[in-house]
Amino acid sequence: MTFKLFMTSLTLLYFYALLFLVPQYNTIIIPGLLLAALIIVMLIISQYLNKRSSTRCVNYLVLLSLLTGFMLVMRIFHSTFNIGYYSLSTVIQDIISMIILASGAVLTAKKDFNDSDLMRYLKFIGTIAVLSGILALLHADFSMARKANIWQPQYIWWGLLFPWSYLLLYNIIMKKNTIFWNILAYGSSVMYVVLGLLFEKRVVIFELVMILIIIVLAIRKKSFLELLRTSVIAISLLLIGILMAQYIFDFKLFELIRFTFLRFTIDSLIYFDRFIEFMNLFYTYPLSILITGAGLGSYQSILGVNNINLHIGWLNFIFKGGILFLALELWIFSVAIKTFHKSKDKLEKYISACVIFSYMVILISSSWVPSPILLNFSFMKFALLRITESSKSRKMIARHALGIHGLELETLSD
């Protein structure tokens, strides 16, 4: 029942992801978001009252809740002095974002949380991703590149391919090399890259570099033949996808790669909007914003446009919650790095890799929209806290058992 209710809220978030760019549907979006948030809150309270969550997950949830209250207070304080851009809708959306950021506590609360729970979730979002990618390819105009495709239906469908990285890491690290998982993992990845280059999205190139580094680090201790086989499969499927795009959709790969790279240099740094956002934090707002945050519902005005989030995700943490929010997220990030580096367990390696990838990607992209992307980010973070606590418990039990065994041997020898 819990899983079904959770999937209901996730489905509502998918509808939001499809409709939020269409102003005339705003009256439909807000009630749907509120219902999704209400379901998640009820499930979190239920899990918390049943005391089923791990101590680490509960601690993170409590800190997140306290931080949410603190950010609401800061919003009232700063709005009194006309700092930042506020409206009722921005506050509602930010509160919903915080609820979704806490949503991972629901699926990870089971005492016997394991790979099968993760697999059910990934199957759901992976299937939607592949279907969305197919629709995006069918709608895309490959003859006109970015100009004719950006902010069109195909652009929104492409955004729902976000699980590609989690699916690819799952397939490689967890060794789920079945036909179904190969279609989900490699199919979504190829479509994400092809469409991303069509839209000339610089983040795609950055993400490819990041995920390649993570994959190499994750399987660095495996045999050379296994590494070679994985590389051949990945490259072959990518080439097949590109060739299909070339002959079916007239996809000019090298030309689109060139256009994408040109977007790194076509604007000077002074007029680069991400840089302007960054500088505005220091020039437009008082230093106290960096310490306390501007609060929930705070949005920046950039280039004459209000009600937008910072494109750099880490800055959203600072802008909304100050150093407290940043410190909380940095702690999770450090746990992920430590687990990824030290753990030999496949599930721990996989989940920590997903968390690291998410934090690295928001170096150049937003992390603050109440959508399935934020929910997936939350799920992986709570799963990380859950498995690291379980791992620590297993080690303590093993040490205790070894201690008793050693004592018995010592007694026998006496």
> What is the average per-residue pLDDT within 281-296?
78
In terms of pLDDT, which residue wins out, 131 or 248? 131
pTM: 0.83
> What is the average per-residue pLDDT within 309-318?
82
**What pLDDT score does 22 carry?**
65
Percent of the chain with pLDDT over 70: 71
**What pLDDT score does 126 carry?**
92
In terms of pLDDT, which residue wins out, 241 or 137? 137
How do the domains of the chain map onto residue ranges? 2-413
CA 312 – CA 265 distance, rounded (Å): 18
Q: What is the pLDDT of residues 32-58, one digit of tens each?
A: 888 899 999 998 888 777 766 678 888
In terms of pLDDT, which residue wins out, 157 or 240? 157
> What is the average per-residue pLDDT within 331-352?
92
Q: What is the pLDDT of residues 159-193, one digit of tens each?
A: 889 899 999 999 988 888 788 988 899 889 988 98
**What pLDDT score does 153 carry?**
79
> What is the average per-residue pLDDT within 291-310?
70
> What is the average per-residue pLDDT within 228-248?
66
Q: How confident is the model at residue 299 (pLDDT cuts 50, 70, 90)?
A: confident
Q: How confident is the model at residue 223 (pLDDT cuts 50, 70, 90)?
A: low
Task: Return the minimum-mean-pLDDT range out of 222-236, 273-287, 400-414.
Answer: 400-414
Q: Looking at the DSSP assignment, which residues form a beta bridge with residue 299?
A: 85
| 8 A C-beta contact, residue 133 and residue 158 | yes
Please determine, for residue 314, whether its predicted confidence score (pLDDT) is greater than 90. Answer: no
> What is the average per-residue pLDDT within 305-331?
82
Q: How confident is the model at residue 267 (pLDDT cuts 50, 70, 90)?
A: low
Q: What is the pLDDT of residues 351-408, one digit of tens each?
A: 999 999 999 988 878 778 778 888 889 999 999 998 888 776 656 555 555 555 555 5
What average pLDDT is seen over the chain? 79
Most confident of 242-251, 298-307, 358-367: 358-367
Q: How confident is the model at residue 248 (pLDDT cuts 50, 70, 90)?
A: low
> What is the average per-residue pLDDT within 132-150?
79
Please determine, for residue 333, whether its predicted confidence score (pLDDT) is greater than 90. Answer: yes
**What pLDDT score does 332 carry?**
94
In terms of pLDDT, which residue wins out, 229 or 354? 354
Task: Return the minimum-mean-pLDDT range out of 148-152, 177-181, 228-232, 341-345.
Answer: 228-232
